[in-house]
Amino acid sequence: MSDAAFVPGADPVVLVVDDADDDQRLDQCLARRVPELSRARLQGLIRAGHVDVDGATVTEPKRKVKAGAAIAVALPAPEPSNAVAEAIPLEIVYEDPHLLVVNKPAGLVVHPAAGHASGTLVNALLAHCGSELSGIGGVARPGIVHRLDKETSGLLVVAKSDAAHQGLAAQFADHGRTGPLERTYRALAWGAPKPVEGRIDAPIGRAPNHRQRFAIVASGKPAVTHYSTDRRFPASDPIASLVSCRLETGRTHQIRVHLSAKGHPLLGDTLYGAGFRTKANRLPAAVRERIDALSGQALHAAVLGFAHPVTGETLRFESPLPPDLDALLAALDTLPADAPGRSRF
């Protein structure tokens, strides 16, 4: 958490530059001291004239600051959200005045964007708790502090109050290094990773030649995934495996990129596993049908744990595989020991 609480529309919060940030960029200094606000958000506040240094407004994020300087940061009152409340059913597994945890189905987009102006999780949340929304992100809307891909199902925490948004954002920015933040996914992948458990540490950024894809690139953001193989189908020379992945960071498409880079893209993933379509055609009909029935990649956010940002209580939630992934798992379980494995595809 930062040195003081930020409340949209309230008086500015004043931070004094310490020796560690002497001669650092203003945005870098604030990013370290105010982890609940993204660096992009802080840069936007600076450019919009909401940050003063020693009483003078500064609009250049790269302006250097000196130890002892007083930085005043004001969060403007949130703008009304353009999103419209929609009565979309939600599976809420926990709720209190500060936050809620939902079990998101595959196919539900988290936030309105180009091509998805309605029918999103945010639209549903506006209908559910529209009068209790966090505005720290600049717009009066549910505090989305982390996201799941459209076709990824599972657990997602949403802030309802500014205090919850600040605390949750700080935990996600810390990646669980100093707290109980826990994010574990279950995935059905082609083949089986070797070794059976390990740590993938590879930076992720936009793929150079495909704007919808991400890839392991030297200039990407740090990304770390811990994985373990739970089951193999069949046990020897496996066609597929059930893999648990624990995130140490939370980059876009992180698990999909990391596992595909090891040669084990997720079943149903047409973006990163297109090369496995012909291999799927050689599987028994019962398995093919279950893969074809998937709306996207076989990935589920199964475990979510964090410290309650207001009470400090450690909360932990588990979600079983949804019916389509559970049915695929059952079909894979019927594969005979002499089924064609990876090496014989």
Name beta bridge partners: 156.
Answer: 102
Residue 221 DSSP class: B
Helical pair 39-47 and 26-33, crossing angle rounded to 10 deg: 130
How far is the CA of 324 from the CAs of 279, 293, 319, in angstroms?
20, 7, 14
Beta strands in 147-265 (DSSP E): 153-159, 182-190, 197-201, 204-207, 210-216, 224-233, 240-247
How far is the CA of 157 from the CAs of 133, 166, 227, in angstroms?
13, 13, 23
Which is nearest to 242 in space by CA: 287, 299, 283? 299
**Do 120 and 109 touch, CB atoms closer than 8 A?**
yes
Query: How far does CA 182 lie from the centroid of its chain?
Result: 12
Residue 149 catalytic? yes
**Is residue 46 packed enough to be buried (19+ CB in 10 Å), middle (13-18) or exposed (0-12)?**
buried
Residues 6+ apart with CB under 8 A from 110: 104, 120, 121, 122, 144, 147, 148, 150, 156
What backbone torsions phi and psi does residue 289 show, to the nearest 5 degrees? Answer: -60, -40
H or E segment at 289? helix 285-292
Residues 6+ apart with CB under 8 A from 313: 307
Task: Please pick, among 27, 149, 162, 269, the residue that the annotation labels catalytic.
Answer: 149
Which is nearest to 335 in space by CA: 298, 296, 285? 285
Residue 291 DSSP class: H
Active site residues: 149
